[in-house]
Amino acid sequence: MGFLKWPFKDKRNQQMEQDLDQLKIVPDHVAIIMDGNGRWANKRGLPRFAGHKEGMDNIKRIVKLANGYGIKVLTLYAFSTENWKRPKQEVDYLMMLPKEFLDTYLPELIEENVQIKTIGHFEDLPKHTKQAVQHAIDRTQDNTGLILNIALNYGSRSELVETVKSITADVKANHISVEDINEAMISDRLFTARLPEPDLLIRTSGEIRLSNFLLWQLAYTEFWFTDVHWPAFNEKEFKQALLAYQQRKRRYGGLEA
C-alpha cells in the first residue's frame, strides 16, 4: 500500500477526515515501542525475519497516519542497546532494515514532507546502516512536517550515564558549578534535547514495561498498551490509542482546573 495523498480523495481518506474531527486533542509527540515482530511471524509459521520485514513495512503505514492526524513527532524504538545480545544473524538482518526501508520509502517520505532524525549511539552502528540513515537525514533536513525520530542503538540508562559524564566534565573544568545543575540542563544534554517530551507512549504485543526507553522523557507521558503485535498494529488500533489519550486528564502533579 502506498502513501495516501492529501487532500482527501477516496472513501478511506474521507473516513480519516471524519476521524480527525473526533480527535480534537492530538498529542504532539507519540513514542512507540514496536514489539512483537517475531511472535507475529511465529503465529503464522513464518521465520522471525518475515516478522521484522512486515514490521518495517508497517512503519510506513503508521508514519502516514501520524502525519495525517497532525502529530508533530513520532519516535520509534527500532533497536535497543540490549538487542545486540540477539543471535548475530538476526542482528545483521536488523541492521540491514534501515537501509532497505529508506531505499524503498525515502521518496514517499520526502513527498510527505517528513523530516528524519535519529537518537542513540549512532557512531557504533555498522557503516552501511549509518550511511543510509545519514543520507535520509541529509535529504529531509529542510522538511517541515512530521519528525520521524528513529531510536537506533538506543538505551535510556546509557543516555543518562553519558549526560552525567558530560555535566561532570563541565563542573571539573569550572564551566559550570554544581548549583547550576537542574532538570533543564539534564534535558538539554539528552539525545532528545531539541524535541518535546512524548505525550503518549504506545507499546504493542502485550508487554507492559518500558524496556530502557526514554526513562527521563516519559516522566509525565500517558501510556497505552495493546496485545496486538506490531506488524498488525493498524489504523484502527492507532486511532483507539489517540482517542484514549484524548480522554486522559494531564495534571502534571497538580489539581484539575
Catalytic residue IDs: 35, 83
Q: How far apart are CA 41 and CA 61, in angstroms?
A: 19
Looking from the CA of 219 toward its CB, the CA atoms found within 13 Å total: 9
Distances (CA, A) of 224 to 24, 87, 106, 212: 18, 30, 29, 17
Looking from the CA of 19 toward its CB, the CA atoms found within 13 Å total: 22
Closest among 151, 144, 130 to 76, alpha carbons compared: 151
Q: Under a CB-based contact definition with an 8 Å cutoff, are residues 33 and 230 in contact?
A: no
Q: What is the DSSP letter of 18?
A: H
Closest among 187, 182, 180 to 163, alpha carbons compared: 187
Q: What is the DSSP string of 216-247?
A: TTTTT-EEEE-SS-GGG--HHHHHHHHHHHHH
Q: Under a CB-based contact definition with an 8 Å cutoff, are residues 80 and 120 in contact?
A: no
Q: Under a CB-based contact definition with an 8 Å cutoff, are residues 75 and 90 in contact?
A: no
In residues, how long is the chain? 257
Q: How far apart are CA 109 and CA 60, in angstroms?
A: 8
